[in-house]
């Protein structure tokens, strides 16, 4: 069953390259995404019952445990939703003449490759192959970011490729040092397997492990959008087409964070204490939240604002992981799910706004609720959700994070985090509320576009409302078992 | 034999310094070719040694891959990209060359001091090789930030990858074969993508000076 | 008694071999340019001709102008006594003698610079200022190289350094020696005014560095200056040859005959290195003056890397 995750996307991509009719592209894409979703549901059930999924072939390369399945489910679900949303989004772009059929085909092929590399990164046991997959995500999404081929898109693409490639190179140095620390402890065939590294973590050489962690944190932190390595994020996420922005924000940042989580569990077990990694992660997290607070207040482009909010939430997750208490890791995993859902929903609705108003400037958008009733309402609710208002789910997970900070007696840290989150709330409210007042430009016809996308958005809105109030017992069990794997029981 | 590897790692480091001292894009490409040749020789020696002792020829396969890609294909790709974009004789870097070289000197000293506190690699031969290799990575990064032209940044990225490969080679006698092949595929795809994007930058901005890319600020 | 003979032999070898090096380099350059060129012994004929001529001295010069050629050639010869041409014969060596070497050569250069300014011509002043700039830039490289070699040999005497290098066998395979060898190549090029730092056969005064300071000299003064420069060049080549390519251990030590054989082999090595210099001269162009700091920085880096190797590796 696990191999379906690896084989089906390849078949989908090959089919896409062969087919010429433009009506078939979205059908193949959505079909592939649905098959992946069904496979993921089956694997989730297996993981919930048995604890992990791993096969003997290829030296146990395919390995899915509770941590992977959480991230994998997010990837697969948001992948399917993006595919559904892109159908009408791209048809409208084709109609307006912004792209042609060749670019449409390129879009679908690259999007499927992008999702495939992320699935690969989350399901392998070998840290080296995980690194290769994460580098491949940068390369697969490079031309997706520069899809519209104008000056700003190309600038965003160049920054994205260069900064992420250098970051990933630094991460590779960390992996080399990780391998160096395990010489003499592990057999050569098992060098970079996560399971083996985790079992023998206490026997690895501590000082090399510390150095490896620093490099890996900087490297994967670049990909995850932690400040001060975040500079590519606002450009890339704002210039990409909206479904791709949703994928980048909601899914890719999670995959990079997943890499950091795997590394943190090895290093903390090896060093026996979590202060070293905790200090680094908490400082990067606070820096991220602070940076995004400063930049959100002065934003003029709503997609860039959403990108900075992604940086903020990744900072919160980093702080939670750095604390390394059971409650904080639970909150971090929960926050990953909530942030992905909410951010994807926001990017979808902002995509509709962009297509209707044809501008990214906040000042030029007025009277949103009249022109786009459903999308506007979803956007309105989403702003509150992402800023952390109850009863939405982001509030629940942020509350859990702050609670765990205070339970750990880090009062100053808690105060700083609350202060920055409040500044961000004020910033988002000040800048984005302008979009709902005023009179709209003359030529715009009120009415919704992209009906399938709207259905997707409303479903996600209901989802984040429910998740904020109620968590099914199985999901809670899954999160708890994931947290046990990370901390080590 | 051990001395050969230390001497080769030093020559590779020296070629990184020569790269820093260059002013023209054609010389960047030529220097990186020479650096890749040195790396290929080092890998070849390692491969011959491992062939004699264990009979595995995967390291020799990696040597062949290096010669095929880093020595022949990628410089040719860069030449082609460079031929298609506009050539303007403009100063490519911010500070002058002797200061850049002195800063690289400081980077080497810095990596030496960092590695001297890490036990396991702070004695003897492995120390010198690790210091050289990590300095190459740092010099590659510094090269990238000190050049304004896009192709200079691609060359800096290649130097970083070279340095990473040399680090892997000297510290752990190479990575498993599948990871090496994956790294090569990644590297070539990355260079191709960067070449295509440089070409697009040239189309839109009429130059490959990345200082001109400042529309997205804040 | 033996010592006096050794000193005389050293003196004779240095004075007699130095014009030969120049002749070989010029012949090789002509050969690669498809010319027949002047005969190899041309410089001997030139010196003989110049010694017989009267020298014309400008009226506006001071005593420095007349004294400099003698000082220059004598400093070169004294420096020649510090550098052994064969390690079987111990020259006048004492601790710290390479600092003495550099200082003595600097004394000669100082007077040459003053003499260039003395005649009051613009070209002479230009040459002097350029010469001073180049020598200042190349000095860190010289000192770091020599101190590293001294650290390695645990002594600051050139003779002891050569003995230590002789013990290794083939020093050029040791990473530290490779770096210092490359640094010394660049040092030689700068100190002896070869391409790419300065073109010795140019006739354009605006591009001259070393030649510009000699413009006013004629007759026996010119002969002495040329001889001094040739001896300086030979000293640097001797340093390279004896530290990095020692062959004396192959000969053994069986009396006077071995000394003569080693001097012969030394001459062959000198010819080989001058061939290398000639090949370098025809392959590159003269650097513009403002690119010379880059070359100097590169040679400093080379010697620094050699030092770092020694520091990290031990011996």
Q: Residue B57 phi/psi, 5° resolution?
A: -110, 25
Q: What is the three-class DSSP state of A53?
A: strand
Please report which helix (H) or strand (E) contains residue A52, including its range.
strand A52-54
Tell me if chain A has a CB within 8 Å of the CB of B43.
Answer: no
Reduce the DSSP state of residue A361 to 3 states and report it.
strand
Are the C-beta atoms of residues C83 and C122 closer than 8 Å to each other?
no
Nearest to B105 among C178, C296, C304 (CB): C304
Which of C133, C138, C175 to probe by mutation at the B interface, max B CB count within 10 Å?
C175
Q: Looking at the partner chain, which of C175, C293, C304 has a beta carbon nearest the beta carbon of B3?
A: C175
Q: Note whether A129 contacts B197, CB cutoff 8 Å.
A: no
> Which DSSP state fits C95?
T
Among C293, C294, C309, select the one facing B10 at the smallest CB separation: C309
Query: Whole-angstrom Cα distance, residue C225 to residue C223?
Result: 6
Interface contact A436, partner B, CB < 8 A: no
pLDDT tens for each residue of C2-19: 778 888 888 888 888 899
Domain that holds residue A95: 2-487
- Written as tens digits, the pLDDT of chain A (489 aa) is 778 788 888 888 888 888 888 788 888 888 888 988 988 888 888 888 887 777 766 666 788 888 888 899 999 999 999 999 988 888 888 888 878 888 888 889 999 999 999 998 988 888 888 899 999 999 999 989 988 888 888 888 998 999 999 999 899 988 888 888 887 777 766 678 888 888 888 888 888 888 889 999 999 999 999 988 899 999 899 889 999 999 999 899 999 999 899 889 888 888 888 888 899 999 999 999 999 999 988 888 889 999 999 999 999 999 999 988 888 999 999 999 999 999 999 999 998 888 888 888 888 888 888 888 888 888 889 988 988 888 888 999 999 999 999 998 889 999 999 999 999 999 988 888 888 888 777 777 777 777 888 888 888 888 888 888 888 888 888 888 888 888 875
Residue C105 confidence (pLDDT): 93
- Rounded to the nearest 5°, which phi and psi values hold at C3? -60, -40
Q: Which residues of C touch B17 (CB under 8 A)?
A: 298, 301, 305
Across the interface, which of B121, B216, B218 has its CB nearest the CB of A298?
B218
Residue C67 has pLDDT above 90, yes or no: yes
Residues of B in contact with C298 (CB under 8 A): 17-18, 21, 101
Contacts of C312 in chain B (CB under 8 A): 112, 127-128, 131
Choose the weakest-confidence range: A419-428, B59-68, C134-143.
B59-68
CA A255 to chain centre: 6
Burial of A412 (0-12, 13-18, 19+ CB in 10 A): exposed
| Omega cis (within 30) before A319 | no
B3 chain-C contacts, CB cut-off 8 A: 173-175
Nearest-CA distance B188 → chain A (Å):
11
Q: Which helix (H) or strand (E) holds A54?
A: strand A52-54
- The residues in A 109-148 lying below 8 A from B, measured between CB atoms, are 126, 128-129, 132, 135-136, 138-139, 142-143, 146
The verdict on A157 touching B (C-beta cutoff 8 Å) is yes
Within an 8 Å CB–CB cutoff, is residue A20 touching chain B?
no
Residue C82 CB-half CA count within 13 A:
25
Q: Which two tokens mark A177? A: 């040092």
Mean per-residue pLDDT for B30-41? 92
Which tokens hold the place of C108?
């000669």
| Best mutation target, C140, C141, C177, C297, to test chain B (most B CBs within 10 A) | C297
- B179 in contact with chain A, both atoms CB, cutoff 8 A: yes
Question: Which pLDDT belongs to residue A190?
Answer: 65
Which one of B12, B15, B97, B121 makes the best mutation probe of the C interface by having the most chain C beta carbons within 10 Å?
B97
Asked if C94 contacts C150 with a C-beta cutoff of 8 angstroms, the reply is no
B-facing residues of C in 102-121 (CB < 8 A) are none
Q: What would the mean pLDDT of C77-97 be, rounded to a whole number?
A: 80
Structural domain count, chain A: 1
Question: CA A202, CA A206: separation in Å to the nearest integer?
Answer: 8
* B39-to-B10, B46, B165 alpha-carbon distances in Å: 11, 11, 9
Q: How far is CA B159 from CA A238, A386, B48, B63, B96, in A?
A: 30, 41, 25, 17, 20
Question: pLDDT-based confidence at B123, cuts 50/70/90?
Answer: low
Write down the residue that tokens 């990628």 correspond to: B74
Tokens of C43: 């410089």
Give the closest of B137, B157, B214 to A173, CB-based. B137
Which residues from chain C sit within 8 angstroms of residue B91, using beta carbons? Answer: none
- Looking at residue A188, its pLDDT comes to 66
Predicted confidence at residue C251, as pLDDT, reads 66
Q: What is the C-alpha radius of gyration for chain A, rounded to an integer number of angstroms?
A: 21
pLDDT 10s digits, B199-217: 888 888 877 777 777 777 7
């Amino acid at each position: 069953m696990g191999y379906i995750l690896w084989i089906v996307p390849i078949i989908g991509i090959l089919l896409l390259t062969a087919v010429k009719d433009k009506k078939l592209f979205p059908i193949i894409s959505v079909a592939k995404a649905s098959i992946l979703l069904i496979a993921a549901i089956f694997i989730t059930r297996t993981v919930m019952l048995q604890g992990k999924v791993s096969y003997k072939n290829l030296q146990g390369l395919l390995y899915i445990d509770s941590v992977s399945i959480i991230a994998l489910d997010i990837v697969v679900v948001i992948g399917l939703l993006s595919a559904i949303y892109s159908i009408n989004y791209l048809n409208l772009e084709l109609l307006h003449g912004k792209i042609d059929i060749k670019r449409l085909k390129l879009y679908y092929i690259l999007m499927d490759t992008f999702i495939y590399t992320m699935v690969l990164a989350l399901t392998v046991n070998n840290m080296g192959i995980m690194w290769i997959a994460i580098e491949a995500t940068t390369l697969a999404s490079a031309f997706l970011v520069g899809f519209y081929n104008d000056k700003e898109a190309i600038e965003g693409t160049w920054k994205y490729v260069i900064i992420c490639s250098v970051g990933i190179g630094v991460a590779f140095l960390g992996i080399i040092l990780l391998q160096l620390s395990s010489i003499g402890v592990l057999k050569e065939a098992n060098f970079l397997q996560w399971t083996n590294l985790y079992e023998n973590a206490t026997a690895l050489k501590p000082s090399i492990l510390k150095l490896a962690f620093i490099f890996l944190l900087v490297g994967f932190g670049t990909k995850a959008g932690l400040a001060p390595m975040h500079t590519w994020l606002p450009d890339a996420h704002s210039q990409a087409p909206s479904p791709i922005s949703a994928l980048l924000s909601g899914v890719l940042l999670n995959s990079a964070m997943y890499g950091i989580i795997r590394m943190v569990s090895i290093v903390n077990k090896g060093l026996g204490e979590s202060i070293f990694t905790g200090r680094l992660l908490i400082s990067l997290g606070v820096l991220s939240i602070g940076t995004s607070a400063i930049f959100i207040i002065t934003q003029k482009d709503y997609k860039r604002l959403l990108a900075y909010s992604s940086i903020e939430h990744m900072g919160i997750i980093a702080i939670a992981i750095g604390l390394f208490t059971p409650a904080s890791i639970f909150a971090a995993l929960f926050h990953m799910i909530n942030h992905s859902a909410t951010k994807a929903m926001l990017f979808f609705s902002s995509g509709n706004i962009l297509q209707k108003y044809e501008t990214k400037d906040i000042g030029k958008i007025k009277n949103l609720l009249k022109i786009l009733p459903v999308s506007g309402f979803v956007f309105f609710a989403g702003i509150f959700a992402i800023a952390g208002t109850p009863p939405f789910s982001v509030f629940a997970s942020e509350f859990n994070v702050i609670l765990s900070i205070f339970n750990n007696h880090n009062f100053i840290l808690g105060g700083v985090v609350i202060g920055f989150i409040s500044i961000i709330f004020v910033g988002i409210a000040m800048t984005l509320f302008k979009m709902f007042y005023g009179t709209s430009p003359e030529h715009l016809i009120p009415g919704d576009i992209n009906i399938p996308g709207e259905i997707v958005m409303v479903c996600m809105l209901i989802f984040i409302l429910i998740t904020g109030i109620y968590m099914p017992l199985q999901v809670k069990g899954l999160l708890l078992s994931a947290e046990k794997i990370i901390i080590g029981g | 034999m051990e001395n050969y590897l230390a001497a080769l790692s030093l020559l590779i480091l020296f070629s990184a310094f020569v790269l820093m001292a260059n002013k023209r894009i054609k010389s960047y490409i030529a220097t990186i070719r020479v650096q890749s040749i040195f790396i290929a020789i080092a890998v070849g020696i390692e491969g011959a040694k491992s062939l004699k002792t264990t009979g595995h020829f995967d390291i020799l396969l990696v040597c062949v891959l290096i010669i095929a890609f880093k020595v022949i294909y990628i410089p040719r790709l860069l030449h082609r990209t460079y031929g298609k974009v506009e050539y303007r004789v403009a100063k490519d870097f911010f500070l002058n060359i002797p200061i850049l070289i002195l800063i690289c000197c400081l980077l080497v000293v810095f990596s030496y001091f960092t590695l001297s506190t890490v036990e396991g690699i702070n004695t003897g031969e492995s120390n010198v090789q690790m210091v050289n290799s990590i300095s190459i990575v740092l010099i590659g990064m510094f090269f990238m930030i000190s050049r304004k032209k896009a192709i200079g940044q691609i060359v800096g990225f290649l130097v970083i990858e070279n340095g990473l490969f040399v680090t892997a080679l000297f510290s752990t006698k190479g990575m498993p074969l599948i990871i090496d092949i994956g790294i090569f595929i990644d590297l070539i795809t990355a260079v191709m993508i960067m070449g295509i994007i440089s070409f697009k930058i040239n189309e839109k901005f009429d130059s490959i000076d990345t200082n001109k890319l400042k529309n997205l600020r804040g | 008694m033996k010592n006096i003979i050794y000193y005389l032999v050293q003196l004779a070898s240095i004075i007699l071999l130095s014009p030969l090096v120049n002749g070989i380099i010029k012949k090789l350059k002509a050969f690669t340019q498809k010319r027949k060129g002047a005969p190899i012994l041309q410089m001997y004929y030139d010196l003989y001709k110049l010694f017989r001529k009267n020298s014309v001295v400008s009226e506006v010069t001071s005593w420095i102008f007349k004294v400099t050629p003698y000082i220059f050639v004598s400093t070169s010869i004294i420096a020649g006594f510090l550098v052994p041409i064969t390690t079987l014969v111990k020259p006048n060596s004492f601790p710290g003698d390479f600092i003495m070497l550099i200082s003595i050569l600097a004394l000669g250069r100082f007077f040459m610079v003053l003499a260039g300014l003395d005649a009051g011509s613009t070209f002479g002043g230009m040459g002097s200022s350029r010469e001073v700039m180049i020598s200042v830039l190349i000095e860190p490289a010289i000192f770091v190289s020599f101190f590293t070699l001294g650290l390695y040999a645990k002594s600051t005497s050139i003779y002891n350094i050569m003995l230590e290098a002789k013990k290794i066998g083939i020093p050029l395979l040791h990473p530290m020696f490779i770096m210092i060898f490359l640094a010394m190549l660049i040092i030689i090029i700068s100190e002896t005014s070869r391409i790419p730092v300065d073109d010795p056969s140019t006739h354009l005064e605006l591009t001259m560095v070393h030649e510009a300071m000699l413009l006013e000299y004629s007759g026996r003064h010119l002969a002495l200056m040329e001889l001094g420069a040739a001896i300086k060049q030979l000293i640097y080549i001797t340093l390279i040859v004896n530290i990095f390519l020692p062959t004396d251990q192959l000969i053994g030590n069986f009396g006077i005959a071995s000394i003569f054989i080693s001097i012969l082999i030394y001459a062959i090595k000198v010819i080989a290195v001058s061939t290398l210099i000639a090949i370098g001269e025809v392959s590159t162009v003269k650097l513009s003056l403002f690119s010379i700091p880059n070359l100097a920085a590169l040679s400093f880096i080379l010697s620094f890397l050699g030092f770092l190797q020694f520091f990290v590796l031990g011996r």
